[in-house]
Amino acid sequence: MELVSGLRNHCSAFAAHADRTCYHDGGHCFFELPPLKGTMPEKKLQELKAEREPLFQRFSNNPSQIHLAIEIKLIDDQIAECNHLIQKKTKTRT
């Protein structure tokens, strides 16, 4: 129970720092990602990749900084959403 409590405190602090909403279910932490609507997914994809690279470098040098892994995961989720939107847009053109 203490681990879950610590996770909640850590996630809540990260969510507040990253301007994201965090909620918990059964010891798992979930973040609500900001919507991508209104932006071009190709442009957003490039921005996300540029944002992810320095975080990954920092995490590679400091693997104990779990907050970096969480932030990378959030960016990866947004990258996946952009890729999905790009594929969907490509399919509708053909």
Domain ranges of the chain: 1-32, 34-94
Q: Is the pLDDT of residue 82 over 90?
A: yes
Determine if the pTM surpasses 0.75. no
Above 50 in pLDDT, residue 6?
no
Q: For the CA atoms of 5, 8, 13, 19, what is the dihedral angle to 10 degrees? A: -170
- Between 84 and 35, name the one with better pLDDT: 84
Model confidence at 26: pLDDT above 80? no
| CA dist., res. 84 & res. 41, Å (int) | 9
pLDDT band at 91 (very low <50, low <70, confident <90, very high): confident
Give pLDDT, residue 44.
93
Instruction: Yes or no: say if 52 and 76 are a contact pair by the CB < 8 Å rule.
Output: yes
Q: Tell me the two tokens of residue 2.
A: 């203490």
- Give the pair of three-digit tokens for residue 42: 């190709």
Nearest to 44 by CA among 7, 15, 9, 81: 81
